[in-house]
Amino acid sequence: SGLLTRLQTSAPTIRTLSSSNSFSPNIPSCLWKLGRLNHVAIAVPDLEKAQSLYKDVLGAQVSETVALPEHGVYTVFVELGNTKLELLHPLGEKSPIASFLQKNKTGGMHHICIEVDDIKAAMTELKKKKIRILSEEPKIGAHGKPVIFLHPKDCHGVLVELEQA
């Protein structure tokens, strides 16, 4: 018995998952669908320094700074190919990012944003499932699309933003 024969007989069996939901049989179908990760948001105390890190040091494509007064933030997007980073900096004293930075002086991950195909249906169903939504109605987010935020205490400590795809 040669080496080739031993390799053929000892090769591991590879199994593939079917495209059905066989791995999650207890999850009921929803009227809405969760989509791709849109971005991970990072609160930064120095926006210019953070932009420089991603653009000049790491070589990423970085957007211009955009003010979003309704959300109390300045935003900058860093393109990563399969997703984006959103750099957040306070706009005004009542900014939620200002209070975040008071607790986290060097900044840090603020939230994740996941796309949904029907934000209104998502809101209705999540409320039924006792997931707190931090606003009564969606607001227009940085991409010009409706967004909502889910309470971090209901999402294992993560602030989750849902954005209409």
Give one DSSP letter per residue of 74-120, joined into a string: EEEEEE-SS-EEEEEEE-STT-HHHHHHHHSTT-EEEEEEEEES-HH
Q: What are phi and psi of 5, to 5 degrees?
A: -65, -45
Residues of the chain with pLDDT under 70: 1-29
Is 134 domain-assigned?
yes
Is 111 domain-assigned?
yes
CB 78 within 8 A of CB 61: yes
pLDDT digits (tens, 9 = 90+) for 13-56: 444 444 444 445 565 567 899 999 999 999 999 999 999 999 99
> What is the domain-level CATH number for residue 78?
3.10.180.10
Is 81 domain-assigned?
yes
61: tokens are: 């494509």
Alpha carbon distance 64, 77 (integer Å): 8
Note the pLDDT of residue 31: 84
Note the pLDDT of residue 158: 97
CB 146 within 8 A of CB 81: no
Alpha carbon distance 132, 126 (integer Å): 8
Alpha carbon distance 22, 66 (integer Å): 44
Structural domain harbouring 111: 34-164
Is 85 domain-assigned?
yes
Is 27 domain-assigned?
no
Note the pLDDT of residue 89: 98
What are the C-alpha distances in Å from 39 to residues 15, 78, 130?
32, 9, 25
- Per DSSP bridges, beta strands 73-79 and 61-62 are antiparallel
Note the pLDDT of residue 25: 53
Number of domains in the chain: 1
Question: pTM here?
Answer: 0.80
Look at the block and give the residue holding tokens 């420089």. 52
Note the pLDDT of residue 30: 75
Is 49 domain-assigned?
yes
Is 10 domain-assigned?
no
Is 136 domain-assigned?
yes
